[in-house]
Amino acid sequence: MNIMQKIIYTGFATCALASASMPAFSWTVWPNVDFEWYADVGKLPAGNAEVAVFPAPRTGYIWAPGHYESVAGSDRQYIPGRWIVDDHQEQVARYSVPAGTQLATGPTVLYDRDGRPIPTHPDAYPIDSVRR
Protein backbone atom coordinates (compact mmCIF):
# COMPACT_ATOMS: atom_id res chain seq x y z
CA MET A 1 0.00 0.00 0.00
CA ASN A 2 1.43 3.34 -0.95
CA ILE A 3 1.34 6.48 1.17
CA MET A 4 -1.54 8.08 -0.74
CA GLN A 5 -3.87 5.14 -0.10
CA LYS A 6 -3.01 5.22 3.61
CA ILE A 7 -3.91 8.91 3.79
CA ILE A 8 -7.22 8.31 2.00
CA TYR A 9 -8.13 5.33 4.22
CA THR A 10 -7.22 7.31 7.33
CA GLY A 11 -9.45 10.16 6.14
CA PHE A 12 -12.37 7.76 5.54
CA ALA A 13 -11.91 6.21 8.98
CA THR A 14 -11.84 9.67 10.60
CA CYS A 15 -15.05 10.71 8.81
CA ALA A 16 -16.78 7.47 9.82
CA LEU A 17 -15.82 7.92 13.50
CA ALA A 18 -16.86 11.59 13.49
CA SER A 19 -20.24 10.85 11.89
CA ALA A 20 -20.87 7.99 14.33
CA SER A 21 -20.12 10.20 17.33
CA MET A 22 -22.25 13.17 16.18
CA PRO A 23 -25.63 11.79 17.39
CA ALA A 24 -24.14 11.28 20.85
CA PHE A 25 -22.75 14.83 20.91
CA SER A 26 -26.03 16.26 19.68
CA TRP A 27 -28.06 14.42 22.28
CA THR A 28 -25.93 15.49 25.22
CA VAL A 29 -25.10 19.07 24.23
CA TRP A 30 -27.82 20.28 21.89
CA PRO A 31 -30.76 21.04 21.74
CA ASN A 32 -31.36 22.90 24.93
CA VAL A 33 -35.15 23.22 24.51
CA ASP A 34 -37.64 23.70 27.32
CA PHE A 35 -40.29 21.19 26.23
CA GLU A 36 -42.40 21.97 29.30
CA TRP A 37 -42.90 25.50 27.96
CA TYR A 38 -44.23 24.12 24.66
CA ALA A 39 -46.64 21.85 26.54
CA ASP A 40 -47.98 24.77 28.60
CA VAL A 41 -48.61 27.21 25.74
CA GLY A 42 -52.17 28.51 25.93
CA LYS A 43 -52.81 27.36 29.50
CA LEU A 44 -53.82 29.89 32.11
CA PRO A 45 -51.22 30.77 34.75
CA ALA A 46 -51.46 28.73 37.96
CA GLY A 47 -54.24 29.91 40.26
CA ASN A 48 -56.12 31.71 37.49
CA ALA A 49 -58.62 29.00 36.65
CA GLU A 50 -61.46 31.08 35.26
CA VAL A 51 -64.75 30.09 33.75
CA ALA A 52 -65.73 32.23 30.78
CA VAL A 53 -69.32 33.47 31.04
CA PHE A 54 -70.81 34.45 27.71
CA PRO A 55 -73.46 37.19 27.79
CA ALA A 56 -76.79 36.90 26.03
CA PRO A 57 -76.52 37.36 22.25
CA ARG A 58 -76.96 40.82 20.72
CA THR A 59 -78.21 41.30 17.19
CA GLY A 60 -75.47 42.69 14.95
CA TYR A 61 -72.61 42.01 17.39
CA ILE A 62 -70.14 39.22 18.10
CA TRP A 63 -68.80 38.51 21.60
CA ALA A 64 -65.00 38.25 21.83
CA PRO A 65 -64.25 36.46 25.12
CA GLY A 66 -61.52 37.65 27.47
CA HIS A 67 -58.06 36.20 26.90
CA TYR A 68 -54.41 36.64 27.81
CA GLU A 69 -52.00 38.34 25.43
CA SER A 70 -48.26 38.89 25.54
CA VAL A 71 -47.67 42.63 25.77
CA ALA A 72 -44.32 44.40 25.46
CA GLY A 73 -42.84 45.15 28.86
CA SER A 74 -44.92 42.60 30.77
CA ASP A 75 -45.25 38.86 30.86
CA ARG A 76 -48.94 38.36 30.05
CA GLN A 77 -51.87 40.71 30.30
CA TYR A 78 -55.56 39.85 30.57
CA ILE A 79 -57.72 41.46 27.89
CA PRO A 80 -61.38 41.54 28.99
CA GLY A 81 -64.19 40.37 26.72
CA ARG A 82 -65.99 42.89 24.51
CA TRP A 83 -68.63 43.23 21.83
CA ILE A 84 -67.48 43.63 18.21
CA VAL A 85 -69.75 44.93 15.44
CA ASP A 86 -70.67 42.16 13.01
CA ASP A 87 -69.88 43.75 9.65
CA HIS A 88 -69.22 40.52 7.76
CA GLN A 89 -71.52 41.32 4.83
CA GLU A 90 -69.96 44.77 4.35
CA GLN A 91 -66.45 43.30 4.41
CA VAL A 92 -67.40 40.61 1.89
CA ALA A 93 -68.92 43.22 -0.41
CA ARG A 94 -65.88 45.47 -0.08
CA TYR A 95 -63.16 42.88 -0.62
CA SER A 96 -64.75 40.37 -3.01
CA VAL A 97 -64.10 42.29 -6.22
CA PRO A 98 -63.25 40.09 -9.23
CA ALA A 99 -59.64 40.15 -10.38
CA GLY A 100 -58.89 42.89 -12.88
CA THR A 101 -61.82 45.08 -11.83
CA GLN A 102 -61.11 48.75 -11.25
CA LEU A 103 -63.35 50.70 -8.95
CA ALA A 104 -64.29 54.22 -10.04
CA THR A 105 -64.09 56.75 -7.24
CA GLY A 106 -64.27 59.92 -9.28
CA PRO A 107 -67.03 62.50 -9.69
CA THR A 108 -70.46 61.47 -10.98
CA VAL A 109 -70.29 63.98 -13.85
CA LEU A 110 -67.44 63.56 -16.33
CA TYR A 111 -66.05 66.46 -18.37
CA ASP A 112 -64.01 66.54 -21.57
CA ARG A 113 -60.83 68.60 -21.97
CA ASP A 114 -62.85 71.71 -22.94
CA GLY A 115 -65.00 71.55 -19.81
CA ARG A 116 -68.17 70.26 -21.47
CA PRO A 117 -70.05 67.49 -19.59
CA ILE A 118 -69.87 64.03 -21.15
CA PRO A 119 -73.23 62.22 -21.12
CA THR A 120 -72.90 58.79 -19.53
CA HIS A 121 -76.50 57.61 -19.76
CA PRO A 122 -77.19 55.03 -22.53
CA ASP A 123 -80.10 57.11 -23.88
CA ALA A 124 -77.63 59.85 -24.80
CA TYR A 125 -76.22 57.53 -27.48
CA PRO A 126 -79.04 56.07 -29.61
CA ILE A 127 -78.26 52.93 -31.58
CA ASP A 128 -78.73 54.60 -34.98
CA SER A 129 -76.64 57.62 -34.01
CA VAL A 130 -73.30 58.53 -35.47
CA ARG A 131 -72.05 59.17 -31.95
CA ARG A 132 -72.44 55.50 -31.00
108-120 pLDDT per residue, tens: 788 889 989 988 8
Confidence (pLDDT) at 44: 67
SS3 category, 111: strand
Confidence (pLDDT) at 28: 54
DSSP assignments along 60-105, one per residue: TEEEE--EEE--TTSS-EEE--EEEE--HHHHHHHH-PPTT-----
pLDDT band at 77, cuts 50/70/90?
confident
Residue 5 phi, psi dihedral angles, 5° rounding:
-65, -40
32-69 pLDDT per residue, tens: 666 776 777 767 666 666 667 789 999 999 999 888 88
Closest by CA to 78, choosing from 87, 65, 89, 90, is: 65
pLDDT of 23 higher than 70: no
Closest by CA to 63, choosing from 49, 50, 81, is: 81
pLDDT band at 131, cuts 50/70/90?
low
